[in-house]
């Protein structure tokens, strides 16, 4: 997908951070953007900023019914669904596993894992019928390494990574399915991590994090022919070679 003009890109968790930056980046390339989040006002404001090529759809990604309706709204409005960015995620609860709240722990799994599944499950039939499409899951270093106090988040990201690999195993011959591990990004999530004081990431300063525009640019690049050889892989923006390939510089 070298030309994004008039392609339809759905972004979950689009109200702020990486999601909002990605919406602006894709729109700048001529794409229609479908903005999903529970924050109705935030996505409405962003859609107003972008203009007629943006559609705001209030949605709880943990709800299959809401996710299914959102995909249908995208197709009804723009005629296709060409890219799905599974970005919605949460970090809380942070704290010792033995003291964790079961409801809060389960809610994170609903958002970070079931939300990715619901998006894929709703998008795959549409993309399969079209014969093309790109699905990118926002991953994390936490998918690969357990961190004390982060049991819910690490578990969810590992599960989402495996789900993305399973989707590629089933559909990689016709669709482009990848993951992006952006590293630590200057978003609200980092403020929550900092406030918790738990783990090495909480010790980082704000200026240690990359701006959300970097993963946004990476996502656009991943939807181009330049990333054709990376189908089925998880890209890490910690990789200096990848940053250079995308054109990201400090």
Rounded to 5 degrees, what are φ and ψ at 95? 150, 175
CA distance 250 to 239: 13
What the block records as the tokens of 232 is 């089925």
Enumerate the β-bridge partners of residue 55. Answer: 34
What the block records as the tokens of 96 is 């010792």
CA distance 140 to 151: 14
What the block records as the tokens of 122 is 């709703």
Active site residue 153: yes
Asked whether 108 and 92 are in contact (CB, 8 A), the reply is: yes
From the candidates 153, 217, 223, 248, give the one annotated as an active-site residue: 153
Reduced DSSP (H G I as helix, E B as strand, rest coil) percent helix, strand, coil of the chain, to 5: 55, 15, 30
CA distance 116 to 245: 27
Q: 79's torsion region: left (phi>0), alpha (psi -120 to 50) or beta?
A: left
CA distance 107 to 23: 26
CA distance 237 to 244: 10
Q: Would you name the residues annotated as active-site residues?
A: 153
């Amino acid at each position: 997908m070298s030309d994004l003009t008039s392609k339809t890109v759905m972004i979950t968790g689009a109200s702020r951070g990486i999601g909002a930056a990605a919406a602006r980046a894709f729109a700048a390339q001529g794409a229609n953007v479908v903005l999903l989040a529970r924050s109705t006002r935030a996505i409405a404001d962003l859609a107003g900023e972008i203009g007629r090529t943006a559609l705001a759809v209030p949605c709880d990604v943990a709800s299959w019914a809401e996710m299914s309706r959102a995909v249908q709204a995208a197709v009804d409005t723009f005629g296709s669904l060409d890219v799905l960015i599974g970005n919605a995620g949460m970090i809380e609860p942070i704290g010792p596993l033995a003291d964790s709240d079961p409801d809060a722990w389960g809610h994170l799994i609903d958002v970070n894992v079931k939300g990715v599944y619901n998006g894929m499950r709703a998008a795959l039939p549409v993309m399969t019928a079209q014969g093309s499409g790109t699905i990118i899951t926002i991953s994390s270093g936490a998918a690969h390494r357990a961190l004390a106090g982060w049991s819910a988040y690490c578990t969810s990201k590992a599960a989402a990574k495996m789900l993305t690999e399973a989707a590629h195993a089933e559909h990689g011959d016709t669709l482009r399915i990848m993951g992006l591990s952006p590293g630590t990004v200057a978003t609200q999530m980092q403020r929550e991590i900092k406030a918790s004081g738990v783990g090495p990431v909480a010790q980082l300063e704000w200026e240690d994090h990359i701006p959300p525009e970097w993963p946004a640019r990476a996502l656009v690049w991943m939807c181009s022919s330049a990333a054709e050889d990376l189908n089925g892989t998880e890209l890490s923006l910690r990789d200096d070679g990848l940053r250079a390939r995308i054109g990201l510089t400090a």
